[in-house]
Amino acid sequence: MTNKVVILGSTNVDQFLTVERYAKPGETLHVEKGQKSYGGGKGANQAIATARMGAETTFISKVGKDGLADFMFDDFKEAGMNIDYILESETEDTGQAFITVDAEGSNTIYVYGGANMAITPEDVDKAASKIKEADYIAAQLEVPVPAIIQAFKIAREAGVTTVLNPAPAEKLPEELLSLIDVIVPNEFEAEILSGIPVTDEKSMAQNADYFLDLGIKVVVITLGEQGTYYAVEGDSGLVKAYTVQTVDTTAAGDTFIGAFVSGFGVSKMNLVEAIDYANKAASLTVQKPGAQASIPLASEVDNI
C-alpha cells in the first residue's frame, strides 16, 4: 500500500556556491570552487522526496520556456512522479534560487520566483481529478496563495488531507488557514505566523495551541538538531533527531515533508512513527551537498 500524494509548488534551478565563510558587507572573497547548477525549488524537492519514498506522486508546477529546467525532467521521471501538470509560462522565466553554503554547512538562499509566481487557480483546476483521488496534497509558499487556496478547496471537498509547509513564512489569509489540516513550519516560520518565539518546550506548546485554535488538526514544528515537536488535540511531544555530520542543510526540510506525507498512515504508521521516519530521511539529506541530489531513496532510509 502506498499513499497517493499531490505536491503543488515551485520548480527552481539552484545556482550553488560553496564558501569558507560569508563575506561581510562591502567585502570581496575568493572561492575555490565555481558555481554549479542543480535542480531545486521547494515544490520540486518535496515532490522528488515523496516519490523516492515510494508514494504515488503528482507534481503541479510551472516553468519558463527558456529551457533552464529541462535537465530536471530526467530526475522527475527517474523518481517516478507524474509530471503531466508541470506547465509552461508564456511570459515568465524559470524560477531560480541562489544558494551559498559555508564550511559549517549553513546556507543562505535568495529566490527569484519567475514562472512559479504565475501559477493560477485555473492551472490547479487542470489537475482537479488527481487532487480528488489523493490521500494528501502538500504545498509551500513559493507559489501564489490563491492557487494553494483553490487546490485545498478541491481537496477539502473530496476529503483529501491538506498539508501546508509555510515556507518562506508570511502572514496567511483566514481563507487559507481554514483549509489546512496539517501545518509543518520550522521554528522560525512558526514564530512569524504565531508571534511567539520558539525557545523551549513551553513555547513550542504555545505555538501549537495557536495553530490548533485556528482549527488545524495536526501541528508539526521541525527544530533541526533538536528534533521535531508535534501536537494534536490531547497529545503532544518531541521526537528526537538523528545525530550526523552535517555537510549541507539544503532540502532537509523538503525531504522531511516528502517522507512524512509518503509515510503517514501507510501500514498503520502513526504520527510519531511518520515523524521519526521523516527525521531519518532528513538526516541522510544533510550529509550530502545540493538539494535534489541529496534526497535519499526509501531503501536508504529503511536501512537506518
Walking along the chain (304 residues) 10 residues at a time, the average pLDDT comes out as: 93 89 93 83 96 97 95 93 97 92 84 95 98 97 98 98 96 96 97 95 96 97 94 96 85 94 82 95 87 87 86
Q: What is the amino acid identity at position 183? A: I
Flag whether 70 is marked binding: no
The total of structural domains in the chain comes to 1
Distance, in Å, from the CA atom of 31 to the CA atom of 17, rounded to the nearest integer, reads 8
The answer to the question of residue 304 being in a domain is no
Q: What is the pLDDT of residue 303?
A: 85
Distance, in Å, from the CA atom of 42 to the CA atom of 92, rounded to the nearest integer, reads 18
Q: Are strands 218-222 and 228-232 parallel, antiparallel or unpaired?
A: antiparallel
Q: What is the pLDDT of residue 165?
A: 98
Q: How far apart are the first and last CA of the chain?
A: 21
- Is residue 3 within 8 Å of 137, Cβ to Cβ? no
Q: Which helix (H) or strand (E) holds 138?
A: strand 136-139
254 is catalytic: yes
Distance, in Å, from the CA atom of 36 to the CA atom of 276, rounded to the nearest integer, reads 32
Q: What is the pLDDT of residue 101?
A: 83
For residue 211 the three cell numbers come to 495553530
The answer to the question of residue 114 being in a domain is yes
The answer to the question of residue 164 being in a domain is yes
The answer to the question of residue 24 being in a domain is no
For residue 148, give its domain range: 4-19+33-297
Tens-digit pLDDT profile for residues 102-158:
888 788 888 899 999 999 999 999 999 999 999 999 999 999 999 999 999 999 999
Flag whether 132 is marked binding: no
Burial of 76 (0-12, 13-18, 19+ CB in 10 A): buried
The answer to the question of residue 302 being in a domain is no
Flag whether 258 is marked binding: no
Q: Which helix (H) or strand (E) holds 280?
A: helix 271-285
CATH number, residue 48 = 3.40.1190.20
Tell whether the torsion through CA atoms of 211, 219, 9 and 268 is positive or negative.
negative
Distance, in Å, from the CA atom of 4 to the CA atom of 92, rounded to the nearest integer, reads 30
Q: What is the pLDDT of residue 36?
A: 80
For residue 244 the three cell numbers come to 550526523
Tell whether the torsion through CA atoms of 137, 248, 39 and 75 is positive or negative.
negative
Tens-digit pLDDT profile for residues 37-47:
888 899 999 99
Q: What is the pLDDT of residue 149?
A: 98
- Is residue 3 within 8 Å of 264, Cβ to Cβ? yes
Flag whether 181 is marked binding: no
Distance, in Å, from the CA atom of 238 to the CA atom of 147, rounded to the nearest integer, reads 33
Flag whether 116 is marked binding: no
Burial of 301 (0-12, 13-18, 19+ CB in 10 A): buried
The answer to the question of residue 232 being in a domain is yes
Annotated active-site residue in 123, 135, 181, 254:
254
For residue 66 the three cell numbers come to 527558456
The answer to the question of residue 26 being in a domain is no
Q: Which helix (H) or strand (E) holds 274?
A: helix 271-285
Q: What is the pLDDT of residue 38?
A: 84
Task: Establish whether the linkage from the previous residue to 146 is cis, with ω within 30° of 0.
Answer: no
The answer to the question of residue 139 being in a domain is yes
